[in-house]
Amino acid sequence: MEIKVLKNILGANQNKADEIRARLVDKGVLMVNLIGSPGSGKTTLLEKTLAHFADTYSCAVIEGDVATDRDARRLQKFGIPVILINTDGACHLESISIEQALGELDLDATDIVFVENVGNLVCPAEFDIGEFAKIAVCSVVEGDDKPEKYPLLFRESKGVLLNKVDLSDFTDFDGDAFTTAVNRLNGDTPIMEIAARSGQGLRVWYDWLRARRDEVRTISKSGEAERRPVHR
Q: Please identify, using beta-carbon distances, which residue of 8 and 222 lies nearer to other proteins.
A: 8
Does 38 bind other proteins (CB under 8 A)? Our answer is no
Does 67 bind other proteins (CB under 8 A)? Our answer is no
Identify the sign of the CA torsion 118, 120, 125, 126. negative
Q: Is 17 left (phi over 0), alpha (psi -120 to 50) or beta?
A: alpha
Residues in the chain: 232
The stretch among 53-61, 78-86, 120-128, 129-137 that binds other proteins (CB under 8 A) is 120-128
Does 91 bind other proteins (CB under 8 A)? Our answer is yes
Does 187 bind other proteins (CB under 8 A)? Our answer is yes
Exactly one of 88, 106, 108, 188 binds other proteins (CB under 8 A); which one? Answer: 188
Does 145 bind other proteins (CB under 8 A)? Our answer is no
Give 49's DSSP letter: H
Exactly one of 70, 73, 77, 184 binds other proteins (CB under 8 A); which one? Answer: 184
Q: Please identify, using beta-carbon distances, which residue of 7 and 108 lies nearer to other proteins.
A: 7
Alpha-carbon span 30 to 217, nearest angstrom: 8
Please provide the distance, in angstroms rounded to a whole number, between the alpha carbons at the two ends of the chain: 35
Does 126 bind other proteins (CB under 8 A)? Our answer is yes
What stretches of 19-147 adopt beta strand conformation (E)? 30-36, 59-65, 82-86, 112-116, 133-139
Q: Please identify, using beta-carbon distances, which residue of 49 and 189 lies nearer to other proteins.
A: 189
Output the smallest distance, CB 148 to other proteins, in A: 6
Instruction: Give the list of residues 6+ apart from residue 113 with CB closer than 8 angstroms, or none.
Output: 24, 29, 30, 31, 32, 59, 60, 61, 62, 102, 105
Does 24 bind other proteins (CB under 8 A)? Our answer is no
The residue count for binding other proteins (CB under 8 A) is: 34
What is the binding site for other proteins (CB under 8 A)?
A: 1-13, 90-92, 94, 120, 122-123, 125-127, 148, 150-152, 155, 183-188
